[in-house]
Homo-oligomer: A and B are copies of this chain.
């Protein structure tokens, strides 16, 4: 990490060697601010980011089992219960019986769930548009390409395909 603003004489350690502004720190801090802002944007919809991720995962392929979705998002089964409970209690999704396996619960969005997911996407798109407001289309592509080079060093799949935000898995 290493901070960007070296303090005077108190910490003589790395103030000369490393770059003045750290890429790691900057990405991390910016990413954190983005996540916080996104949370604020979802708040009026009464949705937490992880609930949005869950709704999105269900909506992306309805009828999958609770466990399948939990595995994709890397959420342990016991945590899934509470999450699904809350969204079901609000009438946003449903657990239905799977005729092939009566142990499994097939997840579906309700009408309200689809509607709220749609509004969330709109809000997210607005957020994205705001974030990139100072970037030309070329700069935007550049930025993504450069971030991918950093991501390569972290073992991140190019598109982060399928999986949700890594913060969901925690650790």
**A interface residues with partner B (beta carbon < 8 Å):** 1-5, 7-8, 10-11, 13-14, 17-19, 21-38, 49, 52, 56, 59-62, 117-118, 121-122, 124-125, 127-128, 130-135, 139-140, 142-144, 146-156, 159-162, 165-167, 171
Contact = CB atoms under 8 A, between A and B. Distances in A.
24 contacts: A1-B49, A2-B125, A4-B161, A10-B60, A10-B62, A13-B118, A13-B121, A14-B122, A14-B124, A23-B131, A23-B140, A24-B38, A26-B148, A27-B27, A28-B38, A28-B165, A29-B156, A30-B151, A31-B31, A131-B153, A135-B146, A143-B143, A143-B147, A143-B150
Nearest to A135: B149
Contacts of A143: 23, 143, 146-147, 150
